[in-house]
């Protein structure tokens, strides 16, 4: 992150999504400003047998996106997708 361009927080904000399992991929798939509110669609892609994988507790994957500033509230729609083998 330190090598990326600086974020102008007067014009933008950062939003991060995080999964609680290192094997589960967390992604922002859509962001839309409606009025003053920001609607965010988040996808969590997990392997079919994620319970069978050993994973340290509290470690996961994250996705960080830069979005235009908004004055309203953040609304999140989560969707879990099971990966087919």
| pLDDT tens-digit readout, 60-77 | 788 889 999 999 999 998
Successive 10-residue mean pLDDT values, the chain, 85 residues: 84 89 84 91 79 68 89 88 63
SS (H, E, C) the chain: CCCCCCCCCCCEEEEEEECCCCCCEEEEEEEEEECCEEEEEEEEEEECCHHHCCCCCCCCCEEEEEEECCCCCEEEEEEEEEECC
Q: pTM higher than 0.85, yes or no?
A: no
């Amino acid at each position: 992150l330190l090598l990326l361009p600086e974020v102008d927080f007067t014009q933008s904000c950062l939003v991060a999504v995080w999964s609680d399992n290192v094997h589960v991929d967390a992604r922002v798939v859509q962001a839309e400003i409606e009025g003053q509110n920001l609607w965010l669609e988040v996808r969590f892609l997990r392997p079919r047998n994620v319970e069978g994988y050993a994973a340290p507790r509290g470690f996961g994957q994250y996705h960080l996106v830069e979005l235009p500033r908004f004055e309203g509230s953040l609304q999140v729609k989560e969707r879990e997708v099971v990966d087919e083998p």
